[in-house]
Amino acid sequence: MKNLGLVVSLALLLFGCSSSSSIEKQLLDVMTKMNTAEKEYRNVQSALTELEKKEQQLFNKTMKITQEQQKDLKTKVTALEKLLDQRLGYLKKEDVAMAKAKEFASDFDAIIDNAAENHKHSIEELQLVIDERYELHSIVMSDYQKLASLQKELYELLIAEGTELKQLNIKLAEVNSQNEIVQASITVYNGMTEKVNVLKDTIFANLENKE
């Protein structure tokens, strides 16, 4: 099983605006709410990474145990399943946090209505890329869930009676293939996050220049 490395490296939404511009303030308020709502998402990343490392290390040790050592094998598989369940628990917290943050995206509608014509398009574009970012995060979550399900199936095969090496290799290949899908989803998601931050910074800079 390949090293998971599933931390979603996210550039934080940075704010340095102190202008009294009404549109700037409204934008800042909405994005601050979104950033605050995503706090739990950011908080779970280090714990999730640590669990992934422990699970990978334990899996590597488990694969060195023969099926004749059933007692030790079952103990390690039980530990693997526990780590997997803990990961899914953190994943649920992350998903809830992102869903809460996504709710604030609709607040952009009022800002767009009140914005000057020369700013409407860029703010509309920001709303679109933010919406797309949350959709991409949902894809990451879905792909990760599929990966976790395949990993659970692999762990169960390790202790199942009559499991052949061919079966393990097939399931391991499925896990590694799904892991690559997850990594690709994360790359696309991170790219969209960078796009959000660049566009946000550009909008605030343009608004300040108009003051």
Query: What CATH number corresponds to the domain at position 68?
Result: 1.20.120.570
- In a 10 Å sphere around its CB, with 0-12 CB exposed, 13-18 middle and 19+ buried, how is residue 207 labelled? buried
Residue 9 domain-assigned? no
pLDDT digits (tens, 9 = 90+) for 172-189: 999 999 999 999 999 899
Distance separating the N- and C-terminal Cα atoms of the chain: 56
- The pair phi, psi for residue 32, each rounded to 5°, is -65, -40
Give a yes or no: residue 199 inside a domain: yes
Please state the domain count of the chain: 1
Instruction: Please give the average per-residue pLDDT across 157-179, as a whole number.
Output: 92
Contact in structure between 100 and 160 (CB atoms under 8 Å): no
pTM: 0.83
Find the Cα–Cα–Cα–Cα dihedral 16, 45, 95, 59, rounded to 10°.
Answer: 160
CA angle 123, 16, 22 (to 5 degrees): 50
Range of the domain at 81: 22-109+118-209
Is 2 a domain residue?
no
Does residue 1 belong to any structural domain of this protein? no
- Cα 76 to the center of its chain, rounded Å: 27
7 domain residue, yes or no: no
Write the pLDDT tens digit of every residue in 70-99: 788 899 999 999 999 999 999 999 999 999
Tens digit of pLDDT for each residue in 16-53?
Answer: 444 436 888 899 899 889 888 888 888 888 888 889 99
In-domain check, residue 189: yes
Q: Is 129 a member of any domain?
A: yes
Residue 197 confidence (pLDDT) above 50 = yes
Contact in structure between 136 and 162 (CB atoms under 8 Å): no
Is 3 a domain residue? no
Extract the tokens encoding 17: 């605006």
